[in-house]
Amino acid sequence: MDDCCVDKASAVERLRERQAATLRLALAANAAMFVVELVFGLLAGSVALLADSLDMLGDALVYGFSLYVVGRGAVWKARAAASKAIVMALFGAFVFGQVAYKVVYPQVPAFETMGVVGTLALAVNGVCFALLWHHRAEDINMRSVWLCSRNDLIANVSVLLAAWAVWATLSPWPDIVVGALICGVFLRSAFLVAREARAELRANHVRPSVATGAPRAARR
């Protein structure tokens, strides 16, 4: 019996170590790509690249949250998921503001830069997605991280499509439309993660309304 308990404890510890190692890699990759896409998005005048750079920053913060709670209980993981939902919603609102600005002041972006940087971002996120795939069903914390990675791939492919469309039409509107689509993905993901976090907190008898502050057990 004791050997069984020791084996289970060791298995849990190994799982946490694997999760933490994966999150550290994803955090480093997304932080680096945030800087790259932000700089080249500004140079290229591309709202799609800027939106994708903020996606990278948001994911870096998400991975940081997830790394912090990887060895904690279900309630802490649900709190982190709720916090991640807020981060994604805030960045979605920011991107919406950028899209609105570009609608008023349209500018044809440098599609060559969009294509090169978008391809690099797709490759980096493809590696992160492959790493996170094996953890997606382990708990709510890792599932919310995997959802972020999946959304990254959608955003990256959208940026490449926008670069092609800008080249073909010499119009800023494909870039603007993609920025709006990334914004929509942000907000939808925030809703899905928040819903899962709320369900997890309810299952653990924690008030969802204070999930991002200092949750307390609900009265029985």
pLDDT of residue 74: 67
pLDDT of residue 16: 61
pLDDT of residue 208: 47
pLDDT of residue 151: 74
CA-based torsion, 155, 99, 111, 42: positive or negative:
negative
Q: Is 106 helix (H, G, I), strand (E, B) or coil?
A: coil
First to last CA, the chain: 34
- Tokens (6 digits) for 36: 């790259």
**Residue 63 binned pLDDT confidence (cut-offs 50, 70, 90):** confident
Residues 65-75 have a mean pLDDT of 66
Residues 3-8 have a mean pLDDT of 34
pLDDT of residue 117: 95
- CATH architecture observed for domain 17-210: Up-down Bundle (1.20)
The pLDDT tens digits for 111-144 are 999 999 999 999 998 888 887 777 665 666 666 6
**116 vs 97, more confident:** 116
* pLDDT for 35 beyond 60: yes
Q: Are 96 and 183 in contact (CB under 8 A)?
A: yes
pLDDT of residue 205: 61
- pLDDT, averaged across the chain: 76
Query: Could you tell me which residues come within 8 angstroms of residue 14 by beta carbon, excluding any fewer than 6 positions away?
Result: none
Q: In the block, which residue shows the tokens 């008898």? A: 205
Helix/strand/coil percent split, the chain, to 5: 85, 0, 15
Domain locations in the chain as residue ranges: 17-210
Least confident interval from 40-49, 60-69, 71-80: 71-80
**72 vs 20, more confident:** 20
From the list 55, 63, 87, 70, the residue with the least C-alpha distance to 212 is 87
Distance CA 92, CA 119 (A): 22
pLDDT of residue 64: 77
Per-residue three-class SS string for 163-188: HHHHHHHCCCHHHHHHHHHHHHHHHH
The pLDDT tens digits for 159-202 are 999 999 999 999 999 999 998 888 777 777 777 777 877 777 77
pLDDT of residue 133: 77
- Whether pTM exceeds 0.75: no
pLDDT of residue 192: 77
- Tokens (6 digits) for 28: 């480093």
Question: Letter for the amino acid at 23?
Answer: L
Distance CA 130, CA 114 (A): 24
Least confident interval from 15-29, 37-51, 58-72, 206-220: 206-220
